[in-house]
């Protein structure tokens, strides 16, 4: 399988681009994700010409809003340059299926970046890096995450699932999507969407039902936005439990009473947080091998991404 193009803050790959000439090499990104992702590194502070090493910058709350200013030299203000850099970079991101930002950076942080008052006193930790904000505004459907949050198994799973979903979608678009292919794509992703957002599942179904009419390109744009927005919402144990039960219905009648009780018990234990999702899913895959159902077996929900990237 070809690697998936994903943008990343350069310092996370170990590139010495930080203000002090250092880096922020991230082990999980470089040891695990790099086997599947084709990382496209970018450092906005270097790109706007600040140099290495450079004056450190930070987010400052001013009368005109948040500004990115020098820590020692407060006359240095690079807000507009970083915003323009983000807008320009985003224009070249058609091929990207995700972006991993460096947390807490006044340029790259996605959220909860420390801010300062003009007096020099610390403020709230609710800022957004100027470059990251410009990218996210220009590319709202691009899966984005910070490296620190990838240590959380649920957040990691959510990000990787979104990247792989976007990859399958962009490949379809690149080949020239037809209404029939949209229907097939949607059919394969039904349970995935159902696990994240029931309302979006119904909206997407209604949208796809009109795929044969005029304005197919616009319909695909709406589908992409609705799909990527739906997947942003974290799937819960309750919603996964409902999907697992739904899947069970495709072969339940063929199971012995003992097998049915075993799977039902495993789904209950997953709901209670006693076993990981992989436990009932593995048993469901096993039963589907013995009692195949074409529709269920095509579901991306069963294999959202390579097992090597599963949490654990
Ligand atoms: S956080 Fe962003 S701006 Fe800072 S060194 Fe890393 S890539 Fe460059």
Name the residue of 82, 107, 132 to mutate for ligand 1: max ligand atoms within 8 A of Cβ: 107
pLDDT on residue 214: 87
Radius of gyration of the chain, Cα coordinates, nearest whole angstrom: 22
Q: Is the pLDDT of residue 205 over 90?
A: yes
Q: Is the CB of 104 under 6 A from ligand 1?
A: no
The rounded percent of the chain whose pLDDT value lies above 90 is 97
Mutate to test the pocket of ligand 1, among 7, 8, 11 (most ligand atoms within 8 A of CB): 11
Pocket lining: 107 vs ligand 1, CB cutoff 6 Å:
yes
Q: Provide, rounded to the nearest whole percent, the portion of the chain with pLDDT above 70.
A: 99
Residue with tokens 């410009």: 134
Which of 13, 22, 44 to mutate to test ligand 1, by most ligand atoms within 8 A of the CB atom? Answer: 44
Question: Given this model, what pLDDT does residue 312 score?
Answer: 62
**Averaged pLDDT for residues 271-298:** 96
Q: Is 105 in the pocket of ligand 1 (CB under 6 A)?
A: yes
Q: Name the nearest CA neighbour of 134 among 82, 70, 58, 57.
A: 82
pLDDT digits (tens, 9 = 90+) for 103-129: 999 999 999 999 999 999 999 999 999
How many helices (H) does the chain have, and how many strands (E)? 12, 7
Q: Mean pLDDT throughout 16-32?
A: 98
- The continuous run of DSSP H or E covering 45 comes out as helix 44-47
Which pTM does this prediction carry? 0.96
At residue 132, φ and ψ (nearest 5 deg) are: -60, -40
Nearest atom, ligand 1, residue 18 CA: 5
pLDDT of residue 73: 95
The per-residue pLDDT of the chain, averaged, comes to 96
Q: How far is the CA of 66 from the centre of ligand 1 (A)?
A: 18
**What is the tens place of the pLDDT at every residue in 145-194?**
999 999 999 999 999 999 999 999 999 999 999 999 999 999 999 999 99
Q: How confident is the model at residue 212 (pLDDT cuts 50, 70, 90)?
A: confident
Residue 81, pLDDT above cutoff 80: yes
């Amino acid at each position: 399988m070809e690697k998936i193009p994903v943008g990343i803050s350069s310092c996370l790959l170990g590139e010495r681009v930080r203000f002090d000439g250092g880096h922020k090499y991230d082990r999980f990104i470089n040891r695990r994700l790099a086997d599947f992702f084709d990382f496209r590194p970018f450092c906005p502070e270097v790109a706007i010409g600040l140099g290495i090493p450079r004056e450190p910058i930070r987010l400052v709350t001013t009368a005109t809003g948040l500004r990115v200013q020098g820590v020692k030299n407060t006359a240095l203000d690079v807000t507009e340059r970083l915003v323009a850099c983000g807008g320009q970079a985003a224009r070249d991101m058609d091929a990207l299926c995700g972006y991993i930002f460096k947390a807490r950076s006044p340029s790259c942080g996605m959220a909860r970046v420390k801010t300062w008052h003009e007096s020099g006193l610390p403020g709230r930790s609710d800022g957004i890096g100027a470059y990251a904000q410009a990218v996210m505004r220009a590319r709202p459907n691009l899966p984005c995450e910070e490296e620190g949050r990838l240590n959380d198994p649920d957040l990691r799973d959510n990000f990787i699932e979104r990247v792989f979903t976007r990859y399958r979608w962009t490949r379809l678009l690149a080949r020239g999507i037809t209404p029939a292919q949209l229907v097939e794509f949607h059919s394969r992703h039904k349970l995935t969407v159902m696990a994240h957002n029931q309302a979006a599942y119904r909206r997407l179904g209604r949208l796809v039902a009109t795929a044969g009419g005029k304005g197919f390109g616009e319909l695909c744009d709406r589908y992409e936005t609705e799909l990527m927005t739906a997947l942003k919402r974290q799937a819960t144990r309750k919603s996964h439990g409902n999907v697992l039960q739904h899947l069970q219905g495709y072969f339940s009648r063929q199971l012995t009473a003992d097998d049915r009780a075993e799977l039902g018990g495993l789904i209950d234990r997953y709901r209670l947080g006693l076993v990981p999702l992989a436990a009932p899913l593995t048993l469901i895959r096993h039963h589907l091998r013995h009692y195949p159902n074409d529709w269920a077996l095509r579901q991306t929900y069963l294999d959202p991404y390579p097992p090597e990237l599963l949490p654990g």
